[in-house]
C-alpha cells in the first residue's frame, strides 16, 4: 500500500503550508522510500544553503544547549522534528521539519562555525537571523499538533477511499443479484405455465378415462396423480415467487442505501 493510492496530495500540501505559515516551522513530507511527496514549506536560506543544503552542513551537527530526545533533534543549532505517517499499522511515509532556533542565536558561536566550515561569517550570521525563533515547548507542541492532524487527515482519506471501493463492490453485487432474481422469476413463470398445462392434460385425461369406462380406470388414477402433482407444483411456485419478492424488496433497499451513501 502506498499513500499515493488513496491520498489527495493537494490536501496534504495545503495542511503543511498552513501549519508552516501559522507556526513558522518548516515542513516537508517524504514517502516510504524517502522521496519527497510535498513541496517544502518555510525553509530559509540558512536551512537550505548552509545546513541541509550543503555537504559539510549535512555532515556536521552542532548541539544546542537543549537536550533533544525522541523525534526531536538539533542540527547546526536549529531544532528539528520528525514523525511517521501511519495507517492501520503500516508506515507510509514521514513528515520532517522544524528548522527553527530554540533561542536567540549566539553570533560569536555562529561566526566561529562559519569560519570552521569555510563560509563567509557575515553571510552566515545574516542568514541565521532570518531563521524563526521559538521556545522548545512551543516547537514540541506544534510538531505534535502537526503529527495528529496529518495522521488524522491521511487516515480519513484512506478510509474514505476504502468505503468508496466497498460501495462499488456492493453495487456490482446488487446488480448481479438483481439479474439472478430476474432469471429466477422468468423460470418460475415458465414452470407455472407448465404446471397449468399439466393440470389441463390431467383434466382431459380424466374425462377420457371416464368415457372409457372400466378400461380407463387405471388411466384415471394416473390422471388424478398428475393433477395432484400439478396443484402441488403451483403452490410451490407461488411460494418461490413470494420469496423472490421479499429478496427483491431487500435488494431495492440496499440499492437505495448505496445510492444514498454515494450522494453523500
**Alpha-carbon gap, residue 261 to 264, rounded angstroms:** 5
Q: What is the pLDDT of residue 178?
A: 73
- Rounded to two decimals, what is the model's pTM? 0.57
Taking only the tens of pLDDT, the chain with its 264 residues reads 889 889 999 999 999 999 999 988 999 999 999 899 999 998 887 766 665 444 333 333 333 333 433 445 455 577 888 999 999 899 999 999 888 888 888 888 888 877 887 888 888 888 888 888 888 888 889 999 999 999 999 998 888 887 666 666 666 776 777 777 777 777 777 666 766 766 676 676 677 667 766 665 665 666 666 666 667 666 776 777 777 777 777 777 766 766 665 555
**Alpha-carbon gap, residue 67 to 183, rounded angstroms:** 74
Strands 26-31 and 78-87: unpaired
Q: What is the pLDDT of residue 126?
A: 85
Q: What is the pLDDT of residue 110?
A: 81
Q: What is the DSSP letter of 48?
A: I
Domains and CATH numbers, the chain: 3-134 (3.30.450), 169-263 (1.10.287.950)
C-alpha cell at 16: 503543511
User: Which residues have CB under 8 Å from 74's CB, separation 6+?
Assistant: 61, 62, 63, 64, 66, 68, 80
pLDDT tens digits for 193-240? 766 766 676 676 677 667 766 665 665 666 666 666 667 666 776 777
What contacts 24+ positions apart, CB below 8 Å, involve 124-129?
124/46, 124/50, 127/44, 127/45, 127/46, 127/49, 127/50, 128/46, 128/77, 128/101, 129/105
User: DSSP per residue over 199-243, as a string?
Assistant: HHHHHHHHHHHHHTGGGGHHHHHHHHHHHHHHHHHHHHHHHHHHH
Q: What is the pLDDT of residue 225?
A: 67
Instruction: Give backbone dihedrals phi and psi of 240, rounded to 5 degrees, phi first.
Output: -60, -45
CB-based contact 6:148 (threshold 8 Å): no
C-alpha cell at 126: 545574516
**Alpha-carbon gap, residue 39 to 52, rounded angstroms:** 15
Q: b/e for 86-121, b at 16 or more Cβ within 10 A?
A: ebeeeebbbbbbbbbbbeebeeeebbebbeebebeb
Percent helix, strand and coil across the chain, each to the nearest 5 = 65, 15, 20
**Alpha-carbon gap, residue 188 to 259, rounded angstroms:** 30
Q: What is the pLDDT of residue 202?
A: 67
**SS3 of 56-100:** HHHHCCCCCCCCCCCCEEEECCEEEEEEEEEECCEEEEEEEEEEE
pLDDT tens digits for 68-94? 334 454 555 778 889 999 998 999 999
User: DSSP per residue over 119-138, as a string?
Assistant: --HHHHHHHHTTS-B--HHH
Q: What is the pLDDT of residue 263?
A: 56
* Number of neighbours of residue 218 by Cβ within 10 angstroms: 11
Amino acid at each position: 500500500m502506498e499513500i499515493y493510492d488513496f491520498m489527495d496530495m493537494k490536501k496534504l500540501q495545503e495542511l503543511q503550508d498552513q501549519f508552516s505559515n501559522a507556526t513558522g516551522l518548516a515542513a516537508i513530507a517524504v514517502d516510504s522510500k524517502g522521496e519527497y511527496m510535498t513541496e517544502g514549506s518555510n525553509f530559509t536560506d540558512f536551512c537550505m544553503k548552509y545546513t541541509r543544503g550543503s555537504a559539510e552542513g549535512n555532515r556536521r551537527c552542532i548541539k544546542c544547549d537543549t537536550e533533544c530526545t525522541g523525534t526531536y533533534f538539533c542540527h547546526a543549532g536549529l531544532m528539528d522534528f520528525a514523525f511517521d505517517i501511519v495507517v492501520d499499522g503500516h508506515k507510509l511515509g514521514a513528515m520532517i521539519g522544524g528548522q527553527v532556533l530554540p533561542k536567540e542565536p549566539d553570533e560569536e558561536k555562529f561566526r566561529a562555525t562559519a569560519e570552521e566550515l569555510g563560509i563567509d561569517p557575515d553571510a552566515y550570521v545574516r542568514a541565521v537571523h532570518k531563521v524563526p525563533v521559538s521556545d522548545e515547548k512551543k516547537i514540541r507542541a506544534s510538531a505534535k499538533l502537526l503529527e495528529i492532524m496529518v495522521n488524522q487527515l491521511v487516515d480519513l482519506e484512506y478510509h474514505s477511499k476504502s468505503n468508496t471501493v466497498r460501495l462499488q463492490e456492493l453495487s456490482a453485487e446488487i446488480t448481479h443479484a438483481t439479474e439472478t432474481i430476474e432469471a429466477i422469476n422468468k423460470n418460475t413463470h415458465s414452470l407455472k405455465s407448465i404446471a397449468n398445462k399439466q393440470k389441463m392434460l390431467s383434466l382431459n385425461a380424466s374425462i377420457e378415462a371416464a368415457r372409457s369406462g372400466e378400461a380407463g380406470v387405471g388411466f384415471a388414477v394416473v390422471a388424478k396423480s398428475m393433477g395432484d402433482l400439478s396443484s402441488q407444483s403451483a403452490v410451490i411456485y407461488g411460494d418461490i415467487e413470494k420469496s423472490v419478492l421479499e429478496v427483491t424488496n431487500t435488494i431495492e433497499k440496499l440499492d437505495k442505501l448505496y445510492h444514498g451513501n454515494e450522494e453523500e
